[in-house]
């Protein structure tokens, strides 16, 4: 469905916050010009494209419906699936938040940037080819309506909405395990439930979770893998972290790796 193309200050500000805190800059760069975010030195190199109005922009000529299909559904304007875009994390965005992100992106200063790069080792290409690794479009229930409007609040209801940004790595049930399509030397995503192997018990309250997001260290001082998108996590507001923690405390227990 078409996204509302807005340009008021409130939506641009909200969109900027979501861009910074929900991972958009991790792939597209803080300035939106695109960046290489995986290069394992073994043949896997992945770069996200320029989404500013500058030379080489991947979003030049986007229509309102194109923004929706790309961000929430992982489908290019041509109808082909995107292989890199983690749209499973963004599929449940409300219409207003999607419009806010687009409003912010459309204000980005023009930068020259590169195109999408997706170099994969043969073994990974084979797994994609046989469907063992699915692109985002294959994981999404495209029949679902967008999330209903939801006012930010430090509670589990809003926390569930915040947690949608975690499912790409930690799985729809948030029990973690190997991250599909990730470089083989990446650590498995943690189990965020209270099931066997779960890590939530390490964090006594939302303040401990927020401290980890901002420092990259667990409460015991040990370092969390830098695979975690700390550039975005440290941008999350105290309200969003409190809501996320409240929701995680309600998630049904699952054993590690059940996704």
pLDDT tens figures, 155-180 = 999 999 999 999 989 999 999 988 87
pTM: 0.93
CB 145 within 8 A of CB 157: no
Task: Look up residue 248 and give its DSSP letter.
Answer: H
Adjacency order of strands within the sheet including 45-48 = 35-39, 45-48, 117-119
- In the predicted structure, residue 252 carries a pLDDT above the cut 70: yes
pLDDT in tens, 62-118: 999 999 999 999 999 999 988 778 899 999 999 999 999 999 999 999 999 888 887
Q: State residue 156's pLDDT score.
A: 97
Query: Residue 53 above 70 pLDDT?
Result: yes
Architecture field, domain 9-139: Orthogonal Bundle (1.10)
Domain boundaries, the chain: 9-139, 156-248
pLDDT at residue 3, as a whole number: 92
Whether the pLDDT of residue 43 is over 80: the answer is: no
Q: Measuring CA to CA, how many Å separate 81 from each of 69, 73, 78, 135, 159?
A: 10, 9, 9, 7, 29
Distance (Å, whole) CA 12 – CA 23:
17
C-alpha to C-alpha distance for 254 and 259, rounded to whole angstroms: 9
**What is the mean predicted confidence (pLDDT) over 137-148?**
89
pLDDT confidence of 132, banded at 50, 70, 90?
A: low
């Amino acid at each position: 469905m078409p996204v509302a193309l807005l340009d008021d200050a409130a939506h641009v500000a909200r969109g900027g916050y979501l861009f910074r805190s929900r991972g958009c800059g991790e792939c597209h760069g803080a300035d939106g010009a695109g960046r290489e975010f995986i290069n394992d030195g073994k043949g896997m190199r992945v770069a996200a494209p320029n989404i500013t109005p500058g030379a080489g922009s991947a979003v030049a000529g986007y229509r309102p419906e194109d923004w929706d299909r790309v961000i929430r559904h992982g489908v290019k304007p041509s109808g082909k699936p995107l292989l890199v875009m983690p749209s499973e994390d963004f599929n449940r965005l409300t219409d207003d938040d999607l419009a806010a992100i687009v409003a912010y992106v459309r204000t980005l200063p023009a930068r020259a940037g590169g195109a999408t790069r997706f170099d994969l080792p043969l073994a990974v290409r084979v797994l994609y080819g046989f469907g063992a690794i699915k692109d985002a479009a294959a994981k999404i229930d495209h029949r679902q309506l967008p999330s209903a409007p939801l006012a930010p609040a430090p509670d589990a209801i809003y926390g569930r909405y915040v947690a949608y940004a975690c499912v790409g790595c930690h799985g729809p049930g948030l029990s973690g395990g190997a991250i599909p399509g990730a470089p083989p030397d990446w650590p498995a995503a943690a189990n965020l439930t209270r099931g066997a192997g779960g890590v939530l018990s390490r964090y006594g309250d939302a303040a401990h979770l927020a401290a980890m997001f901002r420092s990259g260290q667990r409460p015991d001082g040990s370092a969390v893998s830098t695979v975690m998108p700390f550039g975005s996590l440290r941008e999350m507001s105290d309200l969003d972290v409190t809501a996320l923690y409240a929701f995680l405390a309600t998630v049904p227990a699952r054993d590690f790796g059940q996704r």
